[in-house]
Structure 1
Amino acid sequence: MSASELDGTPVIGLLSKASRVVYETSFVPMLALNGKVDGASLDLIAKDGSKVPVLLSAETTGSGKECRTTIAFLLADARRAFERDLAKARAEAEAQLLLTQREGKLREQFVAILGHDLLNPVASISSSVGMLARESLSETGQEIVELTQGSVKRMSLLIHNILDFARNRLGGGIELNMSDEAVLETEVRQVVNELRAANTDREIQLDISLQGTVRCDGPRVGQLLSNLLGNALTYGDPEHPIFVNLNTIDEGAFELGVRNAGAPIPPSAMERLFDPFMRSTNHGDQMGLGLGLYIASEIAKAHGGKLEVSSNDDWTTFTLVVPPGGIDGQTDSGQGETAIGGT
């Protein structure tokens, strides 16, 4: 509107209908009472009828015929948008909080189911099959028992991986029970022998060279090895052997490596290799949940170490490197459990 059009127009005539109500019932009384008003949110009406959001401030000076009221309008589009976004973000955050609380209860129930309702029957099946294996069976019966034992071990590993994943995401972390190199060597040999027995058509070569004292959670490192070796058997070239090596690299430090021939890991997959539920897309076998490498990397972190990977046209190698003394260099001989927080 031009200056001549505005001249002599009552302020209330510039406001929208809703703003007129606020102006008369709130703005004018407050101005009369306090002599000033700051930041009232109103809408002006443009010449074309559109609304113009403003913040209106006013101050009255003088008295009688000298009384003068000065009104200032500040465009408020950005502030209105900010307030709307803020209100929306708050509502979304509150809704997300409620959802997270509900999901937390569901996760706790999920962990309880895994820890009891699934592991107990699997343990019972494993025990029963073990007893059956000691009986006099036909060749076919013995093959069925061996296949069942392999399936039970695979099922147990999957359940433990899911259980560790759930605990880690709930903040419980990977629990460690530190022990010396004798337990570690026993665990590594046991894992290799079990997978050799379950994969009689594959060659797995083991080289162990431990010197001095190393500290770690032997069963957890065995779990890590089982995951890595399982991957090597699944994705490696069956015409070539798989190499497993365990050796000290410094006083109290050790490394555990698994190397297999086969197609290299694509660069795109390398970036997310240790993410949960990440599975290979260049292999026909899509079994598993994609938690093996994630759990392996978390076990490495819990030990204060790291899990490294290299892959080319000749070999794919995963290497666990654990520093001297494991976590924070601890070298005590106790068997206490240590929980390392997860992500």
Structure 2
Amino acid sequence: MTSHGNTHSLTWRVSPDLLGIVNQDGVFIETNPAWQTVLGWSEDEIRSMVFTDFLHPDDMERTIALFGTMKKGEPALHFENQYRCKDGSYRWLSWVAVPEGDIFVCSARDVTRDKAQARALQSSEDEALLREQFIAILSHDLRNPLAAIGSAVRIAARQPHDETIAKMLASIQGSSARMAKLIDYTMDFARARLGGGIPVDLQPCNTLSDGFERVVDEIRLTFPERQIETAFAFEGTLVCDAPRLDQLLSNLVANAVTHGSRNKPILVATGAEGECFVLSVTNPGKRIPDNILSNLFKPFERGDESASLQGLGLGLYIADQIAKAHSGQISATSDGDNTVFRLEIPLQQPS
């Protein structure tokens, strides 16, 4: 008994938790030294007050209600409220209280730091969500005025004009097209970051090569000085969102045009390997360092400062998200001769 009593007394003295005994009137008739450490009150000061004297006004009603249930024999488990310190500040406490005859044996843990960290995390998440919602709304609302500009330019282009005006109209059309592409990127980025991923409409498609040829032809028109070769060997049917895969290929080829060797051809190839559809884009050029290669599919990451169709550094990130939406994956490898981006999609989509 003596050993047990000494152990109990030591725990009472050194415990960082607030330990106490409350009577039926709500007075802490016994408290351990942690009360003064955490709240600053001496044992005599605590005995001169009832528990409501410590409570934050916001917690008064529900704590009094809890004390009423405790008087009926119900314990309090992990009940949180704010207790006033001697300096006027408040600390969050998490209580466990058990009725023992006419008294209540209580312990409270200071969870102020945990609450602050939780609030900071929630605030950070709320701010991130708000930013991404703002991107989505802004991108959506930019489409209408941009469409109006494009329509006005097309009408103006049909009217008589000289060579200078023609160049100006062509420049406006080109800028409008780039703005539309940036809007698409930001919309897709916002969708992906908001947690739902990039939406896809999966349908059986046996004409992937036709769409891919159109994508390559469009980039050839934009960059007539670059040589792009194709080797489309896949002739089967793939359950996919074909326009999204066109977008993915456009991003990969645009990246190859921007960062690859200027005087060697880019190769775009498809095929079936094992149980997967495979699309690869190979461009000769200098080796991508490992530290850059590992971050290529993160948003706002770019290998260098070159201008690109991706502009914001979202092209490869969006390509990666499109792959994931197809239960597939993109990988990138780079050596001294070639950089290869490789997409693999299961021929049989999971249910």
TM-score band by shorter chain is: 0.5 to 0.7
Aligned residues: 266
Matched AA of 1:321: E
User: How many Å apart are 1:193 and its aligned residue?
Assistant: 1.1
Cα separation, partners in 2 of 1:187 and 1:107, compared to 1, 3 Å: same
Partner residue, 1:111: 136
**Percent identity among equivalent residues?**
35
Q: 1:234 to 1:111 in 2, by over 3 A?
A: same
- Contact 2:206/2:237, CA 8 A, preserved across alignment: no
Corresponding position of 1:197: 221
| Length-normalised TM-score, structure 1 | 0.65
Which residue among 218, 222, 232 is the counterpart of 1:208? Answer: 232
For residues 86-129 of structure 1, give each alpha carbon's deviation from its aligned partner in whole angstroms, at most 9, with x where no partner exists. 412312322442453355345324312211x2122333444455
CA contact (8 A) 2:206 2:236 kept: no
Q: Is the alpha carbon distance of 1:93 and 1:318 closer, same or farther for their aligned partners in structure 2, counting shifts above 3 Å? A: same
Relative to structure 1, the CA distance from residue 272 to residue 200 in structure 2 (aligned partners, 3 Å threshold; closer, same or farther) is same
Give the secondary structure class of the aligned counterpart of 2:183.
helix
1:100 to 110, 117, 125: 125
Once the two structures are TM-superposed, the CA of residue 169 in structure 1 deviates from its matched residue by: 1.5
| 1:171 CA displacement | 1.8
**Letter aligned with residue 110 of structure 1:** I
Tell me the alpha carbon deviations over residues 33-55 of structure 1, each in whole angstroms, 9 at most, x when there is no partner. Answer: 99x946452559xxxxxx9x99x
1:231 maps to 2:255? yes
1:261 to 284, 291, 302: 284
Following the alignment from structure 2 to structure 1, what is the Cα–Cα distance between the partners of residues 295 and 136?
25
Change (3 A) 1:294 1:137: same
Which of the residues 321, 325, 341 maps onto 1:298? 321
CA distance in 2 between counterparts of 1:285 and 1:263 reads 17
Larger Rg: 1
TM-score scaled to structure 2, two decimals? Answer: 0.64
Counterpart contact for 1:255–1:319, Cα < 8 Å = yes
Q: CA deviation at 1:220?
A: 0.6
What amino acid is aligned across from residue 117 of structure 2 in structure 1? E
Q: Structure 2, unaligned stretches of length 5 or more?
A: 1-19, 44-107
Distance 1:108 1:207, change over 3 A: same
2:281 corresponds to 1:288:
no
Per the TM alignment, residue 149 of structure 1 is displaced from its structure 2 partner at its CA by 4.2
Judged with a 3 Å threshold, the aligned counterparts in structure 2 of structure 1 residues 99 and 236 are, in CA distance, closer, same or farther, namely: closer
Aligned ranges for residues 328-339 of structure 1 at < 5 Å?
328=350
Letter in 2 for 1:319: R
After superposition, the Cα gap between the structure-2 partners of 1:112 and 1:323, relative to the gap in structure 1 and judged at 3 Å, is: same
Larger relative contact order (Cα-Cα within 8 Å, sequence gap ≥ 6): 1
Query: Which one of 178, 181, 186 corresponds to residue 157 of structure 1?
Result: 181
Question: Residue 289 of structure 1: CA displacement?
Answer: 1.1
Q: Superposition pairs for residues 57-72 of structure 1, below 5 Å?
A: none
Equivalent pair of 1:220/1:299 in contact (CA under 8 Å) = yes
Cα distance, 1:199 vs structure 2: 0.8
The alpha-carbon distance between structure 1 residues 321 and 242, as it changes in their structure 2 partners (threshold 3 A), is same
Tell me the distance in 2 between the aligned counterparts of 1:247 and 1:123: 38
Q: Closer, same or farther in 2 for the Cα pair 1:124/1:250, shift >3 Å?
A: farther
Aligned in 2, Cα 1:128/1:214: closer, same or farther, shift over 3 Å? farther
Is the alpha carbon distance of 1:90 and 1:149 closer, same or farther for their aligned partners in structure 2, counting shifts above 3 Å? same
* TM-aligned CA distance change 1:106 to 1:214, over 3 Å: closer
Offset of 1:303 from its aligned partner?
0.3
